[in-house]
Chains A and B, each alone.
Chain A
Amino acid sequence: MKIIVVGAGVSGAHAALTLLERNFNVELWDVGRVEGTHPAEGMTFNDLKKSLDDPVAHFLGADLSALIPPASDELLRYPPSRNFLTSTKDPLWGFESDSFFPFGSYNKGGLANGWGANALSYDENDLSDWPISFSDMEAAYRTVYNRIPVAGPTDDDLAPYLSGVYPSQLPVRLSAADQMLLQIYNKKKHALTKLGIRIGPARLAVITDPQRDDACDYCDRCLWGCPRASIYNPALSTLKECEGYKSFRYVQGRFVLSLLSSEDKITGIRYLNTSTRQIHQDTCNAIFLAAGALKSGAVFLQTLKTAHPDIPRETEGLMDTSVVKLPFVALRNIGRPSEARSFQFNRLAIGIVNGEAPWPRYLHGELLNLTSLIYHPLIEWMPFDSRLSKKLFFTLKSALGTVSLFFPDKVTAGNRQVLVEHGDQWGKTRLCYQETAEKTSYIRQSIARVRSALWRLSCVPKGTIQSPPGGGIHYAGTIPMGKGSRKCDPSGRSNLFSNLYIADGAAFPSLPSKSITLSLAAHATRVARNARL
């Protein structure tokens, strides 16, 4: 039996591993670009600047393409050395839109090459719109937490809202600035709890056990590429596990375009060889689509075009996590010297509990203290002249932080992916997306609550930064679970094709606030485990 898994991100890696554990032969097809190695293991971010021959080229690119110009909305641009993101100018880029600006990756490991490491599970409330419950997912979550070591506490104020998270590593070390914030939180817990605010150490997919060779050494370079692979990356762990199976074959250089079908079965796969730029076909017995919600949606629509010309070539949904950042100055941390070694990503998480709302009961946020970034966009963003902005920024740096709030999404009429009938040679889809008034209102209310909480934490909030649609990087719901020809059943199997499984976020019928990555892995594991092959 020839089973093909499409996509080597988190979903594809876990679907493949689960199928291998079931003793199937698995081919994993992927474009399979590879990011360069991250230099000078053990060296901190600031030491790296001193040791590299040309640090400017490393951080900004030889042509300074990562230098963010003034008056830009961007606050961070990955340098060319971190080339896991696909440019919209890439010939393989197959999306167009005026209202939705997604990220994509054709690298082995996909977008998880640069994820924020927050590892959470969806609980019963998160899954309230799904045709399955937490108990259906629990076994898959446990498997995934065995595969992905997660650092974090089990008994803090966030724990009641983060059920289904199974940390196996000690929490990431907090900085003195984090500890100060936690101290204030504990002092004012009564008032903050009334506001529905909970704060605690983040649950992070990072190895902290000092006995392990790959344990985090707090080099402060998470964003710039973890040189020790302490942060979970499917390309460096799960896919390596897959490669230990003789029945596994990783096939690089294949960009899947559509599937071939006969009646209700997928019989083949049409793909572009990315080296020769030739289009080929191959046969298969089952397909697991795990190319990411947008690419999986595109492949599905291209398949419909020939298999079912009578069905509208647009998806039932398109969901995106809206991300809002609230910068703040923590007054009590002003003048605190910066720490030489630190974990760069958020070490604290903030939860906003909505006791009365049916969904979501919990809104997830990340409380980040600024450490090792390239700062010029932040300095330019300040409302003073550059000289004063520079001095103020570095004086306040240890006190600067942001709360990033991740807003959930539901399948909404009009938000969809549409096949462009006369797109380019490899097919194109148009992404149509608009935020609902309900979501906008919810965002506004939540921002007000968090601002209020920040004041109570002796932090001065300053402005809000909202990413445009697509900027949240968590996409879902293009082939959601439900009834209808363009949906899949609760096991992830397409309602149209009996041997097509939707193993990634495309199958999610709603997109909860909590970080998606572990749920993607759990969903892929569950789909692969229950597939009737």
Chain B
Amino acid sequence: MMMKKLLFPVWQPDQQEYQAVCAYLGLSPRAHLHKKLSDYLSKAPFRFARAKGFPLYLAKPRLTRFRIARLDLASKLFFPDHPIRHILNGVIALHECDGEEYAELSAAPSGWAVPVSLLGWGFGFAASLFITMGWLCGYFMLYLAGAPLRLAEDLAGKRVLITGVNRGLGLDLLLHSLQQGAQVTGTVRNHEALEALRAQLPEEAPVELIVADLSQPGALVKALQKGQISPDRVDIAVLCAGAKFSGVSVMTTPRLRDTFEVNYFTSVDLADWLYGSADKATLVLISSIGRWHGMHSSCGYNASKAALSIWGESLEMELHLAGKKDCKVMVVEPGIFASGMMEQKGVSRLLFTSRRKLAIRILSGAQQGRKVLRYPFWFALLTWTVCLGGRGLRYRLFARGGK
């Protein structure tokens, strides 16, 4: 499930990136050393200084041999805390401890080859310095040019509450919050999920996990109170957990109630708890772009999301009227992304968006005080176009086409 992917990609090189690092250093990649490196760097966000601003911008793209060479020199000269320094240092440390790898690592010229090699390395270094400075200047210009569109990515000192953190979007939100320096309170449905998640997160991760079965009325607030979580301590609350019963009629009342309990009433309970005493907090409601149209056999999923979106807007109005201008409500209406509710199949893959990117945008939007986030926006446009086509079109596309 979770460990198939890396927890913190800015710090942890994947297999191809590790191979590129080894190729750059003239070493043979070893799977067992890559695993050790990856485990070690999964703790990096909690042990070492976090890259911010331009160094973070440089750390995001995938590592290739060319990029590694540039980043190596640039970080040595200007950004000593850059993740690439930890990656290179870690690779050298691991390879030097392994007998066979050490022989490869320590291979060096002797005799007359020494001055010749030194001369060659000197020229090589000068050339690398020249290329790196040009590359760095180019990237810096791009960084400056992109400033107006840059996402906010610093949650240091902030506490984020996220529901449903053991998988899917909730897990991505958890990992990105941690990577950005937040302290996270996360809810999971049961103890098994809690233990499984705890086992996979680094011990140092500032995460407080609590169990709350959101299908039970009032369960979330009860669990928060039991965990002695004070609303004053929460800066951002993301209601990510959701329920969807596919293939179940919209008239199946008990399931419909469950859907609304998790997707809608939990938000109402939480808002009541949060804004009862907190004067400054952002509530993020994960709705759906599907809230714009009906959907058969979903047991009211789209209806619950429509209610959530409209209620969220209503809540914000009331908060403003009450003078709580620092209490913000952000409604997120994402397109399709991989989750327990949606599976990527066939051509429909083209409609899917990256869950990781969505998580980054949600957190950024919450920090920037956005009211609504529809991501990807082209999917919202597509949805609205379909909606303009009338019920007949929607029936043909969703109900009959789905048969």
Within 8 A of A (CB), among B93-113: 93-94, 96-100, 102, 105-111
Given A335-B109, A376-B93, CB of A392 within 8 Å of CB of B99: no
The answer for the CA separation of A335 and B116 in the assembled complex, in Å, is 12
Contact (Cβ within 8 A) B89 A70: yes
Contact string, B47-73, partner A, CB cutoff 8 A, digits 1/0? 110000000000000000000010011
Contact B36 A56 (CB under 8 A): yes
> If A46-B102, A335-B109, A376-B89 touch, does A387 touch B24 (CB 8 Å cutoff)?
yes
Contacts of B47 in A (CB 8 A): 69
A56 touches B94 (CB 8 A): yes
Query: In the docked arrangement, what's the CA distance between A334 and B99, Å?
Result: 24
CB within 8 Å of A: which of B66-92? Answer: 69, 72-73, 76, 80-81, 85-86, 88-90, 92
Question: Does A395 lie within 8 Å of B99, measured CB to CB?
Answer: no
B-side contacts of A388, CB under 8 Å: 121, 124-125
CB atoms of B98 and A56 under 8 A apart: yes
Interchain CB contact (< 8 A) of B108 among A49, A383, A395: A395
**Those of A88-109 within 8 Å (CB) of chain B:** none
When C-beta atoms are compared, the residue in chain A nearest to B93 turns out to be: A376
Within A297-335, the residues touching B (CB, 8 Å) are 334-335
Contact with B along A149-167 (1 / 0, CB 8 A): 0000000000000000000
Pair B89/A49 contact, Cβ less than 8 Å? no
Mark each residue of chain B from 37 to 53: 1 if its CB lies under 8 Å from any CB of chain A, else 0. 00110000001100000
B118 proximal to A (CB < 8 A):
yes
Binds B, one of A59-67, A196-204, A447-455: A59-67
- A424: Cβ under 8 A from any B Cβ: no
**Chain A min CB distance to B222 (Å):** 36
Determine the main DSSP class of A at the interface with B: helix
Query: How distant is the Cα of A70 from the Cα of B85 in the complex, in angstroms?
Result: 6
Assuming A384-B125, A388-B124, is B81 touching A67 (CB within 8 A)?
A: no
Q: A374-B97, A376-B92, A385-B72 are in contact. Are A390 and B25 (CB under 8 A)?
A: yes
A49–B102 contact, CB under 8 A?
Answer: yes
- A383 to B92 Cα, complex, angstroms: 16
Contact with B along A243-265 (1 / 0, CB 8 A): 00000000000000000000000
A380 beta carbon closer than 8 Å to chain B: yes
- Which residues of A lie under 8 Å from residue B102 when comparing CB positions? 46, 49
Chain A CB within 8 A of B310 CB: no
Q: Which residues of B contact A335 (CB under 8 A)?
A: 109-111, 114
Q: A416 near B: Cβ within 8 Å? A: no
Give the nearest-CB partner of B110 in chain A.
A335
Interface of B is mostly: helix
Chain B residues bordering chain A, tally (CB within 8 A): 43
* Complex contact A394–B125 (CB within 8 A): no
Whole-angstrom distance from the CB of B371 to the nearest CB of chain A?
Answer: 42
| Identity of the chain A residue whose Cβ is nearest the Cβ of B120 in the assembled complex | A391
Residue A71 lies at the interface, judged by CB distance under 8 Å to chain B = yes
Residues of the A chain whose Cβ atoms lie less than 8 Å from the Cβ of B106? 394, 397
Q: Which residues of A392-418 have CB atoms within 8 Å of chain B's CB atoms?
A: 392, 394-395, 397
Closest to A375 in B: B96
Known: A69-B48, A394-B105. A334 touches B114 (CB 8 A): yes
B85 and A67 contact, CB distance less than 8 A: no
Residues of B within 8 A of A374 (CB): 93, 96-97
Q: Which of B305-347 contact A (CB under 8 A)?
A: none
- Inside 8 A of B99's CB, which chain A residues have their CB? 46-51, 55
From A46, A47, A69, contact of B86 by CB (8 A): A69
**B49 and chain A: residue at smallest CB distance:** A71
Q: Is there contact, CB below 8 Å, between B98 and A379?
A: no
Report whether A395 and B85 are in contact in the complex, using a CB–CB cutoff of 8 Å: no
- Expressed in whole angstroms, the minimum distance between the Cβ of B105 and any Cβ of chain A is 7
A18 to chain B, nearest CB (A): 43
Given contacts A67-B90, A337-B110, A391-B121, contact A386 B25 (CB under 8 A): yes
Q: Determine whether B26 belongs to the interface, using a CB cutoff of 8 Å to chain A.
A: yes
A380–B85 CB distance below 8 A: yes
14 A/B residue pairs, CB under 8 Å, sorted by A? A48-B99, A49-B97, A49-B102, A55-B98, A56-B97, A58-B97, A68-B93, A69-B86, A337-B110, A374-B96, A376-B96, A387-B69, A390-B92, A391-B117
Which residues of A are in contact with B by a Cβ distance under 8 Å? Answer: 46-51, 55-56, 58-60, 63-64, 67-71, 334-337, 374-376, 379-380, 383-388, 390-392, 394-395, 397
For the complex with contacts A46-B99, A379-B89, 4 further pairs of A-B residues with Cβ separation under 8 Å are A64-B36, A69-B47, A69-B48, A70-B85
